[in-house]
């Protein structure tokens, strides 16, 4: 047979590129292939049964007959709808026997298991680097090819222009403009340095494909993937990936709040918290839900809110298995198992699970240190 090629003791099928240990195995494989009589007129793929061909043809016709009752999204196959429905129900039927993590699909569990086994089946044909996920390999290859597949549909200037109806947002400084022309003018006048910086990004992360202008920034970024936390708080022992994260955290112990509101004078430990606070004066709520129209001050609030629509609860307790929508909810829940009380009073040593409880406790000491008003004798009603 022409399509049987021997390599030592193995043989390859030149139809589907599968290697077999013996000629007998290859012949059985070929006999199975001969049984495929149903032929797709569009792409040439063959099937053993007509119903498999009919299901396959939906890919070409675009027919989506299976619709989600919760959000209305439609799918080609019933199995795809079943998997999607788990985003609403929160069901994760596939469990890792090593660490207890749960997943919606068997493919995601299979990918996760490579974290334990160290398997990296996808290799770069440019530099030989290997990856556990195909998507990471695709992102990595762009470091070699220079490919930038995502383009702005409005104008050829930058991919960070996003249109919302008749408005356009600058993704550098988060300002909204009434037209694309105003945004382009703003980019040239205000954000030119940012644009030039983006062009100069040459250092690429092998894991996620993100690029940086300097090697030191790439090194700092890679700590996110390695989990290395070299900056430790001397007060409570909590560790951080970046030094600036430790600096911000240290203010929870010192009480330092260097950023103050010029409207009401309220002070904050982080500049981003001040920015969010100012929206309480302006009434600005730039983030809106596409399902119910509700508005939010921050993108984090919107992201958390969306889980009420999807039913997603990505944070789970490794002790009792309970799931939560927010990481903060999980952290507070875990204290019921550990008995941890991370918030301590610097004056008397009392400890609390939650910061508001400590804040309320501190008022006791404030009353102790505040001198009582002097009682002066009232002589206005004294009998003469």
Helix and strand numbers, DSSP H then E, in the chain: 13, 26
More reliable by pLDDT, 263 or 367? 263
212-225 average pLDDT score: 79
Scanning the structure block, which residue is given the tokens 């406790």?
361
Over the stretch 109-125, which tens digit does the pLDDT of each residue have? Answer: 888 888 778 788 888 88
CA distance 149 to 170: 20
215 membership: H or E segment, kind and range: helix 215-226
174-203 average pLDDT score: 55
Q: Select from 196, 187, 142 the least CA-distant residue to 162.
A: 187
Cβ–Cβ contacts within 10 Å for residue 359, how many?
A: 11
Buried-exposed string 68-103: b where 16+ CB fall within 10 A, e elsewhere: eeeeeeebbeeeebebbbbbeebebebeeeeeebbb
Q: Does the structure show a pLDDT above 70 at 100?
A: yes
Q: Select from 88, 68, 89 the least CA-distant residue to 78.
A: 68
CA distance 282 to 279: 5
Helices 299-310 & 78-89 angle (0-180, nearest 10): 120
- Give residue 68's pLDDT band: very low, low, confident or very high (50, 70, 90): confident
87-104 average pLDDT score: 83
CA distance 94 to 106: 6
Share of the chain above pLDDT 90, in %: 3
Cα 384 to Cα 133, 379, 380, distances in angstroms: 96, 10, 10
187-207 average pLDDT score: 58
For residue 7, what pLDDT is reported? 42
For residue 175, what pLDDT is reported? 58
15-34 average pLDDT score: 64
Find the DSSP H helices in 101-149. 106-117, 134-145
Q: 96: alpha, beta or left, given left = phi > 0 and alpha = psi -120 to 50?
A: beta
Q: Does the structure show a pLDDT above 60 at 383?
A: no
> In this structure, are residues 130 and 120 in contact, taking their beta carbons and an 8 Å threshold?
yes
For residue 265, what pLDDT is reported? 92
Within a 13 Å sphere around the CA of 103, how many CA atoms are in the beta-carbon half? 14
Winning range, highest mean pLDDT, from 12-26, 161-175, 196-210, 310-324 = 310-324
First to last CA, the chain: 132
215-223 average pLDDT score: 80
Instruction: Tell how far CA 106 is from the center of its chain.
Output: 21
Over the stretch 246-296, which tens digit does the pLDDT of each residue have? Answer: 888 898 899 899 999 999 999 998 888 898 899 889 888 888 887 788 888
For residue 16, what pLDDT is reported? 58
Q: 138: alpha, beta or left, given left = phi > 0 and alpha = psi -120 to 50?
A: alpha
45-73 average pLDDT score: 81
> In this structure, are residues 68 and 84 in contact, taking their beta carbons and an 8 Å threshold?
yes
CA distance 359 to 362: 5
More reliable by pLDDT, 37 or 145? 145
Cβ burial, residue 172 (10 Å; 0-12/13-18/19+): middle
Six-digit token string for 257: 């709040």
- Give residue 151's pLDDT band: very low, low, confident or very high (50, 70, 90): low
Q: Which of 14-18, 98-102, 109-113, 364-368 has the lowest mean pLDDT?
A: 14-18
For residue 37, what pLDDT is reported? 64
More reliable by pLDDT, 167 or 356? 356
């Amino acid at each position: 047979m022409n399509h049987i090629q021997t390599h030592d003791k193995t043989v390859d099928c030149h139809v589907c590129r599968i290697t077999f240990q013996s000629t007998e195995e290859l012949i059985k494989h070929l006999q199975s292939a001969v049984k495929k009589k149903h032929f797709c007129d569009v792409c040439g793929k063959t099937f053993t049964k007509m119903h498999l061909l009919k299901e396959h043809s939906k890919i070409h016709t675009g027919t989506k007959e299976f619709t989600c009752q919760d959000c209305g999204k439609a799918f080609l196959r019933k199995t795809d709808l079943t998997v999607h429905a788990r985003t609403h129900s929160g069901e994760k039927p596939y469990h890792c026997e090593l660490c207890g993590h749960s997943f919606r699909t068997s493919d995601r569990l299979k990918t996760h298991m490579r974290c334990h086994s160290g398997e990296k089946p996808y290799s770069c044909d440019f530099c030989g680097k290997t990856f556990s996920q195909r998507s990471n390999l695709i992102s990595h290859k762009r470091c070699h090819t220079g490919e930038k597949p995502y383009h702005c549909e409005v104008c050829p200037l930058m991919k960070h222009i996003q249109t919302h109806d008749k408005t356009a947002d600058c993704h550098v400084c988060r300002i909204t403009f009434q037209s694309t022309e105003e945004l382009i003018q703003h980019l040239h006048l205000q954000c030119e340095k940012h644009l030039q910086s983006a062009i100069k990004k040459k250092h690429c992360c092998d894991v996620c494909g993100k690029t940086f202008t300097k090697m030191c920034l790439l090194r700092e970024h890679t700590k996110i993937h390695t989990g290395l936390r070299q900056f430790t708080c001397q007060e409570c022992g909590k560790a951080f990936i970046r030094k600036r994260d430790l600096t911000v955290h240290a203010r929870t112990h010192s009480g330092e709040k260097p950023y103050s509101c010029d409207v009401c004078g309220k002070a904050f430990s982080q500049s981003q918290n001040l920015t969010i606070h100012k929206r309480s004066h302006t009434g600005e709520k730039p983030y809106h839900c596409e399902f119910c129209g509700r508005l939010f001050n921050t993108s984090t609030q919107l992201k958390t809110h969306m889980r009420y629509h999807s039913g997603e609860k990505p944070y789970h307790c490794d002790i009792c298995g309970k799931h939560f929508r927010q990481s903060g909810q999980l952290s507070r829940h875990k204290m019921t198992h550990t008995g941890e009380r991370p918030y301590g009073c610097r004056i008397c040593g009392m400890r609390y699970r939650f910061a508001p409880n400590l804040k309320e406790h501190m008022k006791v000491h404030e009353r102790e240190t505040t001198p009582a008003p002097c009682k002066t004798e009232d002589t206005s009603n004294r009998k003469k």
